Amino acid sequence: MIKNAIFGLLIILLVIGMLFVGCDNGSTEEEDVWSYVTSFSQLNGTWKLTSYTTTYSMEDVNVTVKYTNATITINSTNKTISQSGTAIHTYSGGNIADLWPALKNSLSYMNQWEGVTISNINDSNYSFTMNMNNLIMTLDDDDNDDFLTQFQINQNGTKLKKSDEMTGEVVIYIKQ
């Protein structure tokens, strides 16, 4: 009798286990298969990066950049790239107190770029905000090859993957 009860319990556990294995976990998303971009036309369109924070060191100074609402729009016919979004830069450590005046002075140069506005310069925590609104760059043929090799695209053409140049972290853009 105990043997039958244990056998019955094992059968019930096996059936419950099979139910869980066979259940739909609600995910309909297939795993992305990535390949390198080979043509500028694969990048055509608007791509969005909702939020991304990266940290790196430069000359013993820690740099944290938080990107929000970042988009890139690529026109493959004209070979132009338009960028929009916000990047909050914060510096700490090392001799940032000594370097800050020179860095802060260079911000006025960046503020002259069409489509870039530097704001919220904060001397107490060594930070500033860079707003990009339709910052446009045009690529020539030499730039084109270098630009293409930075990206991988998924099998559906709906996501771009790029490694952050400073940290090597992977950044994903979603086609809009």
Amino acid at site 162: K
Give this prediction's pTM.
0.70
CA distance 34 to 21: 28
Sorted by where each begins, the domain ranges of the chain are: 44-139+164-175
User: What are the tens digits of pLDDT across the range 67-113?
Assistant: 998 999 999 888 888 999 999 999 999 999 999 999 999 998 888 88
Q: What is the pLDDT of residues 9-26, one digit of tens each?
A: 333 333 333 333 333 333
Give, in order, the Cα–Cα distances in Å from 109 to each of 105, 106, 117, 123, 130: 8, 5, 11, 18, 12
